[in-house]
């Protein structure tokens, strides 16, 4: 159980953020649910929820969120970075604004949140930072290269942060998700890629990963973190990346 734990979710408007928030609340944690300015928080949450709105694509947005948490709760035990933005385009035809948006939402928010809360946790001598990322931090999408670039940056950020804050009692890891329900639509590719064609048939589990699967794993992980698990990328993809063309059922 997570009684008396303080958890910060960086994006509560996405499906993953919603599922994780609800699971942590059900497990007894107090949750600070952040949304980008202008995005209303989802309703129907049980328990101790504080909804806030800070722009984590800006340094001062991260600093204000951390100050709010420190003043209201005194600390943060758990930081979960859940921001996720996919923009499909080939390298040749990617507009500059879309390219920068993908880097800002996926990667810069991760850096800003880590910068704001890493020092706070290190000062306290404990804490958990967990990035919800994608198999595309290592595997090309074929249709959304800026997304892969950004998630690759988050993977290296996690490793660097683990080196910097790990010796001070902070556990920093990353979950690579893939084959998640809806990914076959999200990465439809606009005829650029067939990676997600017949996605369910490519799952070793036979069915997509759900956001609830992810939330269940996270609740278990943060309630009893393994002291030796630091600087790791954990894959939760239902075996999707194991598929290869020509495999017989």
For the chain, domains (ranges, CATH) are 6-242 (3.40.50.720)
Would you call 4 helix, strand, or coil by DSSP?
coil
- Site of tokens 């993908």: 102
**Per-residue pLDDT for the chain (249 aa), expressed as one digit of tens each?**
899 999 999 999 899 999 999 999 999 999 999 998 888 766 667 777 899 999 999 999 999 999 999 999 999 999 999 999 999 898 999 999 999 999 999 999 999 999 999 999 999 999 999 999 999 999 999 899 999 999 999 999 999 999 999 999 999 999 999 999 999 888 886 567 888 888 988 899 989 999 999 999 999 999 998 989 999 999 999 999 998 765 555
d(CA 41, CA 57) in angstroms, rounded, equals 18
The reported pTM is: 0.94
d(CA 126, CA 143) in angstroms, rounded, equals 39
- Site of tokens 């997509």: 208
Strand partners, 35: 53
């Amino acid at each position: 159980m997570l009684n008396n734990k303080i958890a910060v979710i960086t994006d509560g408007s996405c499906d993953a953020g919603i599922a994780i928030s609800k699971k942590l609340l059900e497990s007894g944690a107090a949750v600070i649910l952040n949304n980008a300015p202008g995005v209303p928080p989802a309703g129907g949450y049980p328990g101790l929820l504080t909804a806030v709105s800070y722009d984590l694509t800006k340094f001062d947005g991260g600093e204000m969120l951390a100050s709010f948490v420190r003043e209201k709760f005194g600390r943060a035990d758990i930081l979960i970075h859940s921001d996720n933005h996919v923009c499909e385009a080939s390298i040749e035809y990617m507009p500059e604004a879309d390219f920068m948006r993908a880097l800002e939402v996926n990667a810069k928010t991760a850096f800003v949140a880590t910068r704001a809360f890493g020092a706070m946790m290190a000062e306290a001598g404990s804490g958990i930072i967990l990035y919800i990322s994608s198999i595309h931090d290592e595997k090309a999408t074929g249709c959304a290269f800026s997304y892969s670039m950004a998630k690759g940056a988050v993977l290296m950020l996690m490793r660097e942060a683990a080196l910097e804050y790990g010796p001070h009692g902070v556990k920093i890891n990353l979950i690579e998700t893939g084959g998640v329900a809806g990914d076959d639509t999200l990465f439809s590719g606009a005829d650029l890629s067939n990676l997600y064609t017949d996605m369910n048939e490519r799952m070793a589990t036979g069915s997509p990963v759900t956001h609830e699967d992810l939330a269940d794993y996270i609740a278990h992980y943060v309630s009893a973190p393994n002291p030796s698990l630091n600087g790791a990328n954990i894959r939760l993809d239902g075996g999707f990346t194991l598929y290869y063309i020509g495999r017989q059922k």
